[in-house]
């Protein structure tokens, strides 16, 4: 699952002229699961914008905005899409890029504004807790398919192996645990 976090409302709204017609697109998959881009967040953003006296012409959640097939159907079915000057996208970078690409191919020319920052991959466990899985490094550092990424587990996010100043018995100087690079050796 793609981990995203919200960009501040003030930062987003500062990018949109006062007389602009605004659309909002949310992600019904990853961003919704993580509580940053689903139906509730889209509605909250719509309300915040309308409280400023701004014009929201549509607000909609797409199941998976990174799937261009779903976006084509969404754009065809969304009343007001063609009327929007600016579209706020509450999705990861893949969803954002897909929306820009599909709307361009269909002849639309809105200004798109990122509403979320893409941070990496996470795993959602059976009980609903979220665990970091990947930071999108340029090179994968997994030791085995069943291991946990040492970079995402390291307090310093080091990709080049253990610190040289680690403590006795390979304990991390930045946490109270064994260095993740040595913890991974146990698998």
Q: Are 38 and 27 in contact (CB under 8 A)?
A: yes
Cα distances (Å, whole numbers) of residue 177 to 1, 93, 143, 182: 27, 33, 19, 10
DSSP 3-state helix, strand, coil percentages of the chain (rounded to 5)?
35, 25, 45
Starting at the edge strand found earlier in the chain, the sheet holding 111-114 runs: 55-62, 21-27, 86-90, 111-114
Q: In the chain, where are the structural domains located?
A: 2-119, 137-186
pTM of this structure: 0.78
pLDDT in tens, 105-162: 989 989 999 999 998 888 888 888 887 777 777 677 766 655 677 888 888 888 888 8
Q: Which fold has domain 2-119?
A: Rossmann fold (3.40.50)
pLDDT in tens, 7-59: 999 999 999 999 999 999 999 999 999 999 999 999 999 999 999 999 999 99
């Amino acid at each position: 699952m793609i981990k995203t976090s919200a960009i501040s409302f003030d930062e987003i709204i500062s990018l949109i002229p006062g007389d602009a017609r605004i659309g909002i697109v949310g992600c019904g998959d990853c961003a919704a699961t993580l509580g940053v881009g689903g139906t509730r967040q889209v509605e909250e953003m719509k309300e915040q914008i309308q409280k400023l006296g701004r014009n929201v012409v549509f607000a909609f959640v797409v199941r998976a905005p990174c799937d261009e097939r779903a976006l084509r159907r969404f754009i065809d079915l969304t009343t007001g899409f063609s009327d929007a000057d600016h579209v706020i996208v509450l999705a990861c970078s893949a969803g954002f890029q897909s929306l820009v690409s599909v709307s361009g191919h269909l002849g639309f020319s809105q200004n798109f504004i990122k509403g979320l920052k893409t941070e990496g991959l996470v795993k959602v466990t059976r009980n609903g807790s979220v665990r970091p899985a990947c930071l999108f490094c340029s090179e994968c550092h997994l030791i085995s398919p069943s291991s946990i990424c040492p970079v995402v587990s390291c307090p310093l996010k080091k990709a080049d192996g253990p610190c040289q100043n680690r403590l006795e018995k390979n304990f991390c100087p930045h946490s109270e645990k064994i260095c993740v690079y040595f913890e991974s050796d146990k698998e």
